[in-house]
């Protein structure tokens, strides 16, 4: 039984191998020709809009806006006298309480 399976497998491999080698060679040749000649084909669609290689083409103006323009330093400063700060935010003594 094992001998028959081995013989069948060998026969299938030989037939498939010959077909694969023949078809692979033809496919490889066609692929090589397509890749080689593909670079020689001119583009079939025209450019839409202005030609990017034209130095006289009209373009939008260039602007500049700083990303750090509203920056203010938040480094610690010398502390003010705390009594003066408290007096400035305390309720007035004229409220009647």
pTM: 0.26
Give Dmax (Cα) for the chain.
Answer: 117
Residue range 2-45, pLDDT digits in tens:
787 777 777 766 766 665 666 777 778 888 888 787 777 776 67
User: In whole angstroms, what is the distance from residue 46 CA to residue 26 CA?
Assistant: 35
Q: What's residue 22's pLDDT?
A: 67
């Amino acid at each position: 039984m094992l001998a028959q399976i081995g013989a069948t497998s060998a026969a299938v491999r030989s037939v498939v191998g010959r077909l694969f080698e023949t078809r692979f060679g033809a496919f490889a040749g066609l692929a090589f020709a397509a890749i080689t000649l593909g670079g020689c084909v001119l583009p079939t669609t025209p450019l839409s809009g202005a030609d990017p290689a034209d130095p006289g083409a009209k373009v939008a103006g260039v602007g500049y806006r700083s990303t750090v323009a509203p920056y203010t330093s938040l480094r610690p400063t010398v502390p003010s006298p705390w009594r003066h700060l408290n007096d400035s935010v305390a309720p007035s003594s004229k409220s009647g309480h």
